[in-house]
């Protein structure tokens, strides 16, 4: 790395042993830790040395600082890849994507205007000092209320996916382009809560403020999708290929409102080569049992024979592989006690074939 950059030459406030995150913003060593934790709070970004278990660098968030913030703007998400740290913010309709580049020693602030960016030009060593200069931008994102961000190198190009209250923007940093994915068919508008890039696919959760959160698996968009799959029945198919021509097993409406996800490559227990998808859900308006977690084991190329497993506070299902006929965890409808001829026994498989207690 370049030892002339401001973050390398800046004054170290304290040793790791003496470091106090409340009063110090740089501790320990000059070089970036070999292993690090990046911790996000509403008003700060902390980089901890994982081996020393101590603060290495702190970013404050405020107007015109390197992480742009205010009393109405909160940090919402962070991801780092190849020396570039992506920090999403939201609040008051004026959030944005902060890209802190340790290689170039600067920060760009990107929002919906594709013609204007704001650059912090003092260098990372002065990250908590005021510098906010308008520069010519290359692209903008679909919405300023950011919920999640993820980045990956795919086929030699760096992509950054940004989940917002207006859909998902996928930035191709190598080519300097952006494509948006959204749908006009959701009640309450488009809200994307989580994104993940892997191989040549984009995983995302998306719904409206009053509708169920659906989960998609699509090819990385090469054009804007302004409508997508406009209308879904609540709890219907959550993952689809580009064009929606092939679907995975339904996820039952017994568990709904997907709001975060994580993907591991080549770990599927079904075939040993496909991906495993973990995502959390929540329930709204009393329409289903309280949320939990779902694990999907892919079988790519034969998607309907992948598997699902549900985890909630009330039950854990079996691993349901392929076109399963039913899975009854002896759990009453909406959490009620099972009583004779009173409450159905829920089927948590895609068939939703509920049984009546006798």
For position 288, what pLDDT does the model report? 44
Q: Which residues lie across from 320 on neighbouring strands?
A: 308
Burial status of residue 11 (CB atoms within 10 A of its CB: 0-12, 13-18, 19 or more): exposed
Taking CA atoms, 175 is separated from 108, 154, 179, 219, 338, in Å, by: 17, 13, 12, 18, 58
* pLDDT attached to residue 125: 97
**Edge-to-edge strand ranges of the sheet holding 146-154:** 146-154, 157-164, 167-172, 177-181
Measured in whole angstroms, the distance separating CA 220 from the mean position of its chain's CA atoms is 15
Q: Which pLDDT does position 184 carry in this prediction? A: 55
Average pLDDT of each block of 10 consecutive residues along the chain (358 residues)?
A: 92 98 97 97 97 98 90 95 97 93 94 86 94 88 94 97 92 94 60 89 73 69 64 38 41 59 94 91 54 85 81 84 79 57 68 73
Domain ranges of the chain: 67-327
């Amino acid at each position: 790395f370049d030892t002339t950059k401001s973050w390398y030459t800046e004054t170290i406030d304290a040793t790791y042993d003496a470091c106090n995150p409340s009063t110090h913003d740089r501790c320990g060593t000059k070089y970036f830790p070999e292993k690090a934790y990046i911790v996000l709070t509403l008003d700060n970004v902390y980089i901890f040395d994982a081996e020393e278990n101590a603060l290495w660098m702190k970013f404050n968030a405020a107007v015109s600082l390197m992480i742009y913030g205010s009393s109405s703007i909160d940090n919402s998400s962070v991801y780092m890849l190849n020396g570039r740290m992506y920090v999403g913010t939201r609040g008051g309709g004026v959030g944005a994507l902060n890209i802190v580049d340790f290689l170039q020693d600067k920060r760009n602030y990107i929002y919906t205007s594709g013609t204007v960016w704001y650059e912090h030009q003092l260098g990372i060593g002065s990250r908590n000092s005021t510098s906010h200069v308008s520069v010519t931008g290359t692209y903008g994102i679909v919405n300023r209320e950011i919920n999640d961000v993820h980045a990956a190198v795919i086929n030699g190009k760096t992509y950054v996916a940004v989940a917002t209250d207006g859909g998902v923007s996928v930035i191709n940093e190598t080519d300097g382009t952006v494509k948006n994915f959204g749908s006009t068919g959701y009640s309450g508008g488009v809200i994307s809560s989580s994104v993940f890039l892997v191989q040549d696919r984009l995983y995302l959760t998306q719904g409206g403020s009053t509708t169920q959160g659906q989960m998609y698996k699509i090819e990385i968009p090469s054009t804007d999708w302004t409508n997508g799959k406009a209308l879904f029945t609540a709890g219907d198919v959550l993952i689809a290929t580009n064009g929606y021509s092939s679907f995975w097993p339904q996820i039952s409406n017994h568990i709904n409102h997907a709001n975060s996800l994580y993907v591991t490559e080549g770990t599927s227990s079904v075939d040993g080569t496909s991906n495993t998808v973990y995502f959390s859900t929540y329930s709204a308006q009393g329409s289903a049992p309280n949320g939990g977690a779902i694990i999907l084991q892919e079988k790519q190329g034969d998607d309907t024979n992948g598997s699902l497993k549900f985890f909630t506070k009330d039950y854990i299902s079996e691993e349901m592989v392929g076109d399963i006929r039913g899975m009854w965890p002896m759990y009453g409808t909406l959490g009620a006690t099972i009583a004779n001829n009173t409450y159905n026994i829920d089927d948590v498989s895609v068939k939703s074939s509920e049984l009546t207690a006798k």
